[in-house]
Amino acid sequence: MGPATVRDWLTARVRSTKDSGLRTVLQELVEQLSLASSEAVTLRRLSADGQRLAPVAWYHPDPEVRRTIGEVMQRTTAVADSGLWGPVLRELRPARYHVPLGDPPVGAAPDQASHLRRYPVRALVGAPVLDQRGALVGCAAMLRYGYDAPFTEEDEALLTHFSESTADLLALLEVG
């Protein structure tokens, strides 16, 4: 192998290892917020072209619910179809929703609405993840299953703190 080939190989390995390591750390942090808040937590990264919200990490203690959260996240990546993420993306502000049983919030994308009907999601709160310049790099959310209570200002503040604390790590993650 010539020097350029070795450099290309090394560059690919560094990128892959960095991506894998960042995803592992972010998954652990999402799980810690889930345990601290007793809520499901999701984290997405905005693509470089600003058109997709790539799933990064999610956690719910029930493996079946965790699996379906991942499926919904994989199917709802287009920013144009962001549904409940709209205010978070457009206005760069947190948004809270209380979900009446069996009645998803207005504006939910079809896959989001289907999940909200199948599982007893009773409240959601989403927050933008902003880099040091204030540019959007992703979104974080907490979902309340089963317990019928809206998220409070304190819950929103906790999610916002998480978003601020993980922003530098999320910004390093490269997604297409």
pLDDT at 147: 84
Evaluate whether 65 touches 145 at the Cβ level (below 8 Å): yes
The residues, ordered by sequence, that sit 6+ positions from 126 with a Cβ below 8 Å of its Cβ are 84, 85, 88, 94, 95, 139, 140, 141, 159
59: left (phi over 0), alpha (psi -120 to 50) or beta: beta
pTM above 0.95, yes or no: no
Residue 38 pLDDT > 70: yes
Lowest mean pLDDT among 25-29, 43-47, 112-116: 112-116
Give me the mean pLDDT over the 115-123 stretch.
78
